[in-house]
Amino acid sequence: MTRTRRRLIQFAALAALLSLWEAAFRLGLLSPIIFGSPSLIVRAVTQDGWTFAHAFRITVFEIAKAVLIAWTAGILFGAVAASLPALARVSAPILSALIAVPLVVLYPVLIAWLGLGPSSKVVFGVVSGIFPIALNTMIGVQGIDRGYAQMAAAMGANPRQIMFQVMAPLALPAIVSGLRLGTALIVIGVVLSEMLGSTDGIGFWISYHRALFNTGQVYLGILLALLVAGLANAALSLVERFYVRQAANLSVP
Partner 1 sequence: MTGWIARLVPLVFVLALAALWEMASRFGLVDPRLLPPFSDVVRTLGVLLQDARFRGDLGFTLSEIAVAFAVVGPLGLGVGFFLGENILAYRMFAPALNLLLSIPKSIFLPVFIFAFGIGFLQKVIFAITLAFFIVVLSGIAAARLVPPGLAMAARSFGATRRQIYLQIYLPAMEPLIIEGLRMGLIFTVTGVLIAEMYGSPRGIGRDLFAWGEMLQMRELFAGVLLVVVVTIICNELLRSIEEFRKSCRRGFR
Partner 2 sequence: MPSGVQMTAEDIARETIVVDGVGKTYGGGTHALTALTDVSFTVREGEFATLVGPSGCGKSTLLQILAGLVPASSGLVAIDGRMVTGPSPDKIGVMFQDAWLLPWKTAAENVEFPLVLRKVKPAERRKRALPLLELVGLASFADRYPDELSGGMRQRVAIARCLVQEPRVLLMDEPFAALDEQTRTRMGNELLQIWEKSGGTVVFVTHGLTEAIYLADTVFVMGTRPGRIIERIAVPLSRPRSIDMIGSESFGRLRNHIWHLIAEVRT
- Cβ-based nearer residue to partner 2, 21 or 148: 148
CA nearest to 52, candidates 195, 215, 194, 224: 224
Query: Does residue number 231 form part of the binding site for partner 2 (CB under 8 A)?
Result: no
Query: Does residue number 154 form part of the binding site for partner 2 (CB under 8 A)?
Result: yes
Is residue 135 within 8 A of residue 166, CB to CB? The reply is no
- Which of partner 2, partner 1, none does 147 bind, CB closer than 5 to 8 A by kind? partner 2
Indicate which single residue of 203, 204, 220, 236 sits in contact with partner 1 (rule: CB under 8 A): 203
Query: Does residue number 248 form part of the binding site for partner 2 (CB under 8 A)?
Result: yes
- Cβ-based nearer residue to partner 2, 93 or 147: 147
CA nearest to 71, candidates 223, 236, 244: 236
CA nearest to 58, candidates 187, 199, 201, 189: 201
Interface pattern 122-151 for partner 2 (x via CB under 8 A): -----------------------x-xx-xx
- The C-alpha atoms of residue 200 and residue 173 are separated, in whole angstroms, by 36
- The C-alpha atoms of residue 206 and residue 214 are separated, in whole angstroms, by 9
Is residue 107 within 8 A of residue 124, CB to CB? The reply is yes
- Cβ-based nearer residue to partner 2, 10 or 165: 165
Q: Which helix (H) or strand (E) holds 16?
A: helix 3-26
- Cβ-based nearer residue to partner 1, 47 or 207: 207
Interface pattern 97-136 for partner 1 (x via CB under 8 A): xxxxxx-xxxxxx-xxx-----------------------
Query: Does residue number 157 form part of the binding site for partner 2 (CB under 8 A)?
Result: yes
Indicate which single residue of 166, 192, 206, 224 sits in contact with partner 2 (rule: CB under 8 A): 166
- Cβ-based nearer residue to partner 1, 139 or 206: 206
What part of residues 23-42 is at the interface with partner 1 (CB under 8 A)? 31, 33-34
| Residues touching partner 1, count (CB under 8 A) | 44
Query: Does residue number 45 form part of the binding site for partner 1 (CB under 8 A)?
Result: no
Count how many residues are written for the chain. Answer: 253
Q: Is 193 exposed, middle or buried (0-12, 13-18, 19+ CB in 10 A)?
A: buried
**Least Å distance between CB 20 and partner 1?**
17
- The C-alpha atoms of residue 14 and residue 84 are separated, in whole angstroms, by 52
- Which of partner 2, partner 1, none does 161 bind, CB closer than 5 to 8 A by kind? partner 2
User: H-type helices in 38-158, by residue range?
Assistant: 38-83, 85-98, 107-114, 118-142, 146-154
Distances (CA, A) of 151 to 141, 147, 186: 17, 6, 38
Chain contacts with partner 2 (rule: CB under 8 A): 145, 147-148, 150-158, 161, 165-166, 169-170, 245-246, 248-253
